[in-house]
Structure formats: C-alpha cells, structure tokens
C-alpha cells in the first residue's frame, strides 16, 4: 500500500521562516506560462535562498516582479541576450527546473512537440552538464517520455551521468488524480500514478486508495480522465497553450520534496526516472514510487503487490509506447 502524503506548505510568512538551508534553484524557461507562476511559488518557499531565472526573453521583467516579494531569497534574472546568461544562471544551482519549450495546441499530441523541444532540452541539459553536473534536473518540457532520455544521454556523453539526479516531473498527473478522486470521496487523498506522462502511459492506481469504491464504468472513466486531463486544459485554452497554473503548483511541490530531501528528511515521491524495474522488457524509464535523499533517488520501490489486474494490463499496454518514446529521445542525442 502506498503512503498518503499531504501537500507541503509552500507559502512562507514574510521574513519569519528563514531556515539555515542554502539552496539555489534555477528555472529555465522562467518567463513562460509555467515558468512565471512556478517562479512565484519558489520565491514563496523558505527553503529557496537563491532563485535564478533564465529565459531567452523577458526574464528581467519577471525577475524584477517576483523579486519584490518579501521573502528572504535573492532573485536574479538572466536572458539569452547575455552570452553567458545561461551559464551564470546555472552556477551553483542545486536544483534546475526546466519548463522551457513550446506547449500543445488542440489536436496535437505531446510527441508532436518533439521536433522543437528535443533540441531545447538537449542544449539546456548540455549547459547543466558543463556548469552544474551535480544538480538535480527536474524536467517538465514535453514530451517528458522522450526529454528525460534526451537529458540523460547528454549527461552520459559528458561523462557526468547520475541516474539518481534526473527526474521527469509527472506530479501534475498525481495532482489531477487526487483532485478527481477528491470530488468523488469528498476529501483530498493521494492517488499513485505510474508509467509515463502521455495518454495511455499515464496509469492511476485507484486500487491503492483506501476506502475508494468504483464501479468498472467509473474506474474506466476516471482512468481516462487522468490519462487525458492535459487535453481538457488544451481544449479549454483553445490554442493559447496547455496547463500552466496547475503545473506550476505540481512542479513547486516536487521541487519542495527534493529540497526537503536535501535537508535530510526522508521523502517519498513519484517521478519518471531511470529504473531496472522493467529491465526484462527492455524499458529503461518509468514513473514510480521513489525514496529521496540528498543525493536524489535513494531507493526505487516496485509496483505495489496489491495492484489490480486491470492496472497491470494498463502497465503492459504502456510499455511499448514508453519504449518507443525513450528510443526516440536517446537516438536524437546519439
């Protein structure tokens, strides 16, 4: 059974909750739809002492704006206009959060973003490998099922790869699943979500939620809603992008988990990481339950024994699609 974890408190009281922890967090793509609210939430997190914002344009404005919030962290904005802007943004970073890249429009799949975003993630990962190879990378840019293998291959090529430090952020799937089940149960509970971050590779494990009873029809409908929740937002935004605010919330929550682990807390999270869980199937990356410590992933937990047959079948169906995406990502760098 998966543990139930409460959403951490992210909002600091001004000047009252300074902690001894020193953490520089860099956001790449900070002026975008996700980047701006994510930067806001990170500025409100007392564990962040330096916030470094990088984008190809408009970063000075975002940094000046966020920088007026009266929490103790320093905020600096860097843009591509400064030739060394990216390097400066990354120097000394412990966490690098990457929401840089284009979002979907109605009718597109996440894989349709590959042609643009693969190169962006490759180049940003290259800079991280050179400047802050020991930082933890939190990759939000889609398609996550390919961009995590891309960043990993870049780190391998640079000779600085540590699988425990490269994370695909799938937290929004958990936030959605929790919210949709919350509607049904009348209270917010954690719902594990495993697999990947695209369509049928997103697998909510409703079997692990204590006290939740679903008919087969309800289970099918809720599974579909979690798998295609991103499309709901893309359609509602009608050409103006995809989820930004809920993603910022989810990304800030995941960043906070890593910062707590850095500070010595035992933290459990779900993330898309390199794992041997499906070695027999030839699959290298999978989103699953992980224990975190200051070095990143400390332990990868297997799928729960009490997983339902229905969910196991969803995992089997996801594997070929996940393999295709990871091969596409890895080949792009090769």
Site for ligand NAD in 241-270 (CB under 6 A): 241-244, 247
Stretch that binds ligand NAD, among 51-59, 150-158, 257-265, 296-304 (CB under 6 A): 51-59
* Count of helices and strands (H, E) across the chain: 10, 11
242 contacts ligand LMR (rule: CB under 6 A) = yes
Q: Which of 233/315 has CB closer to ligand LMR?
A: 233
Residue 243, interface with ligand LMR (CB under 6 A)?
yes
Query: Residue 270 and residue 260: Cα distance in Å, rounded?
Result: 15
CA–CA dist 134, 129 (Å, integer):
8
Nearer to ligand NAD, 143 or 296 (CB): 143
Catalytic residues: 197
Question: 179-186: which pairs have CB atoms within 8 A and are 24 or more residues apart?
Answer: 180/222, 180/225, 180/226, 180/229, 181/206, 181/209, 181/212, 181/222, 184/212, 184/214, 184/218, 184/222, 185/209, 185/211, 185/212
DSSP single-letter state for residue 198: S
Give, for 54, the enclosing helix (H) or strand (E): strand 50-55
Q: How many CA within 13 A on the CB side of residue 4?
A: 10
**Closer residue to ligand LMR (CB): 129 or 194:** 194
Is-contact 205 307, C-beta < 8 A? yes
CB 53 within 8 A of CB 77: yes
Least separation in angstroms between residue 99's CB and ligand NAD is 5
Beta carbon nearer to ligand NAD, 46 or 99: 99
Q: Which of 132, 170, 129 is nearest to 151 (CA)?
A: 129
When asked if residue 172 is in the footprint of ligand LMR (CB under 6 A), the reply is yes
> Of 26, 32, 123, 114, whose CA–CA distance to 75 is shortest?
26
Phi, psi angles (nearest 5°) of residue 226: -70, -40
Of the residues 197, 219, 253, 274, which one makes contact with ligand NAD according to CB under 6 A: 197
CA 269 to each of CA 84, 128, 168, 177, 258: distance values in angstroms, whole numbers, following the listed order: 34, 23, 12, 15, 9
Question: Per CB under 6 A, does 195 bind ligand NAD?
Answer: no
Taking CB under 6 A as the criterion, the residue among 29, 230, 251, 296 binding ligand LMR is: 230
33 binds, among ligand LMR, ligand NAD, none (CB under 5 to 8 A by kind): ligand NAD
Residue 233 sits in the site that holds ligand LMR (CB under 6 A): yes
Closest to ligand LMR by CB, 77 vs 101, is 101
149 is an interface residue for ligand NAD by CB under 6 A: no
Q: Does 121 bind ligand NAD (CB under 6 A)?
A: no
Binding mask 101-120 vs ligand LMR (x if CB under 6 A, - otherwise)? --xx-----x----------
Contact between 117 and ligand NAD (CB under 6 A)? yes
110 or 253: CB nearest ligand LMR:
110
31 binds ligand NAD (CB under 6 A): yes
- Give the total residue count for the chain: 334
Applying CB under 6 A, the residues found at the interface with ligand NAD are 28-29, 31-35, 54-57, 99-104, 113, 117, 120, 124, 140-142, 144, 169, 172, 197, 241-244, 247
Applying CB under 6 A, the residues found at the interface with ligand LMR are 103-104, 110, 142, 172, 230, 233-234, 242-243
């Amino acid at each position: 059974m998966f543990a139930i974890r409460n959403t951490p408190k992210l909002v600091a009281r001004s000047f009252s909750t300074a902690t001894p922890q020193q953490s520089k967090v860099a956001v790449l793509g900070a002026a975008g739809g996700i980047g701006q609210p994510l930067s806001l939430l990170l500025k409100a997190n007392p564990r962040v002492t330096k916030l470094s914002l990088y984008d190809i344009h408009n970063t000075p404005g975002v940094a000046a704006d966020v920088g007026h919030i009266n929490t103790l962290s320093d905020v600096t904005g860097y843009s591509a206009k400064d030739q060394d802007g990216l390097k400066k943004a990354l120097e000394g970073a412990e966490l690098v959060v990457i929401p840089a890249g284009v979002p979907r429009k109605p009718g597109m799949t996440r894989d349709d973003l590959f042609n643009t975003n693969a190169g962006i993630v490759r180049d940003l990962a290259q800079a991280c490998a050179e400047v802050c190879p020991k930082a933890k990378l939190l990759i939000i840019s889609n398609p996550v099922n390919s961009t995590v293998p891309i960043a990993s291959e870049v780190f391998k090529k640079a000779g600085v790869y540590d699988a425990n430090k490269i994370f695909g952020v799938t937290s929004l799937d958990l936030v959605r699943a929790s919210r949709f089940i919350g509607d049904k149960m009348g209270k917010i509970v954690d719902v594990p979500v495993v697999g990947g971050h695209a369509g049928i590779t997103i697998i909510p494990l409703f079997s692990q939620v204590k006290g939740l009873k679903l008919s087969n029809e309800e289970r099918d409908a809720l599974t579909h809603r979690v798998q295609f929740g991103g499309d709901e937002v893309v359609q509602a935004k009608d050409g103006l992008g995809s989820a930004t605010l809920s993603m910022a919330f989810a990304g800030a929550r995941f960043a906070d988990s890593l910062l707590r682990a850095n500070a010595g807390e035992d933290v459990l999270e779900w993330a898309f990481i390199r794992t041997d869980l499906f070695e027999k199937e030839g699959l290298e990356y999978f989103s699953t339950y992980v224990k975190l410590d200051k070095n990143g992933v400390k332990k990868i937990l297997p799928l729960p024994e009490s997983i339902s047959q229905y969910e196991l079948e969803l995992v089997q169906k996801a594997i070929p699609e996940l393999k295709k995406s990871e091969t596409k990502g890895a080949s792009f760098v090769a």
